[in-house]
Amino acid sequence: MSCTIFYKGTLNEKSTPKDVIDTIQKHMKYINADLKYTDDSIVINFKSRLSEPLVFNFVNNSINSYCKWDGNNSEEFYRILDIFIELKHLFKILEVEDEEGLWYGYNIQKQPCKINLRSLSASNELQLLNRIINNNHNELNEIENYIISLSRLCPFNQSLLRIIVQDFIKIMQIENIKDFSRKAIVVLMDQITFVNDHFAKTDLKYFEFDTILMRLWISYVFTYKNMRIVKDLPENIKGLKSSKLAALFGILSIFLNCHGGVVNEKHAQMKKFAAMYYMSYPLGEVLVKDKPEVEMELFFSMMDYLGFSYVGIE
């Protein structure tokens, strides 16, 4: 197992590097490593020599570093995460991330799930469910087939993906395959704000259609916290940026079988919620595959938690 941990933060007014040392020392018996420290520097050297040292160099009581852990004992990796969990109270803010998103999932393991399952109630939700049920009795048309092939998404249950594709067709006003234009899509992407993305109108080199499809869908068919359509909202609204990221990667992984690392705590909560009802795999992957009514109850419960409401195409 190999994973890079990134960490940065500033100690609070009541804490010192000595408090950090004392906390780390309590955990050293669980880690095969040596501890060296000075008044403002802490170094954990792993005895396996496969991993880089875990270093805390304090400058004005702040740290900003990373450690590439590469060991055979995954339990040791989680013991390292235990250190960061216990250190959090010493910092004003301590930000921790890793390539696989294991930090977010591990950090909420012992916390109650923040998402509550509910039945469908809003008319827009029931209309979407009816669309799914009707779709199940009809074959994909030529345009839908083409767009799904471009997305390269292979969900076990195609119900939600087909809704997304149908909404996309309406957004782009595609009446036949010849109307599909990458340039037109990139132009539209440049008109929305989605987590610091930038799409140059003349550069299609990084045209990743699966994520573009999801970004447009989230931006055009959902409102956020009873405000306007997401595409019309400024990025600095509290919670919007993290909710958009969680929706993007949560929907792709949990419903559309396109897995990646966990991007934030909201995404981790979505996976935790899904894992209450469906099998979870070693790195936390979990897939929802059920009757449309059940799938949509889980989906809209997650979107409630993120602050999104489905309104469809205006």
29-33, 203-207, 272-276: the lowest-pLDDT one: 203-207
Name 309's bridge partners: 223
β-pairing verdict for 2-11 and 91-98: antiparallel
Helix %, strand %, coil % of the chain (to 5):
45, 15, 40
Q: Which pLDDT belongs to residue 206?
A: 52
Q: 37-51, 136-150, 240-254 — which is least confidently predicted?
A: 37-51
CA–CA distance, 19 with 32 (Å, rounded to integer): 22
pLDDT score of 73 more than 90: no
The span from the CA of 147 to the CA of 149, in Å, is 5
Q: Are residues 87 and 209 in the same domain?
A: no
At residue 278, what are phi and psi to the nearest 5 degrees?
-135, 160
* 199 lies in some domain: yes
Whether 201 shows a pLDDT value over 50: the answer reads no
Domain with 179 in it: 123-310
Residues 182 and 67 in one domain: no
CATH classification at residue 55: 3.30.310
Residues 198 and 272 in one domain: yes
- Tens digits of per-residue pLDDT, 244-294? 999 999 999 999 998 877 888 899 999 999 999 998 876 668 889 999 999
Query: 223 and 74: one domain?
Result: no
Q: What is the pLDDT of residue 107?
A: 80
Mean pLDDT of the chain: 89
Among 48, 65, 99, the domain boundary falls at 99
Looking at the 3D structure of the chain, how many domains does it have? 2
Measured distance between the N- and C-terminal CA atoms of the chain, rounded to whole angstroms: 47
> Is 114 contained in some domain?
no
In a domain, 113, yes or no: no
Of 272, 273, 293, 267, the residue nearest 97 (C-alpha): 267
**What distance in Å separates the CA atoms of residue 308 and residue 286, rounded to the nearest whole number?**
22
Q: Is the pLDDT of residue 123 over 70?
A: yes
- Beta-carbon contacts of residue 84 (< 8 Å; ≥ 6 apart): 5, 7, 94, 96, 103
Give tens-digit pLDDT for 171-199: 999 999 999 998 898 888 888 877 656 54
- pTM of structure: 0.79
- pLDDT band at residue 70 under the 50/70/90 scheme: confident
The answer to whether residues 212 and 237 touch, using CB atoms and an 8 Å cutoff, is no
Last residue of a domain, one of 83, 99, 115: 99
Looking at the structure, do residues 205 and 302 belong to the same domain, yes or no? Answer: yes
Judged against a pLDDT cut of 60, whether residue 204 lies above it is answered with no
- What amino acid is encoded at 72 in this protein? N
In a domain, 105, yes or no: no
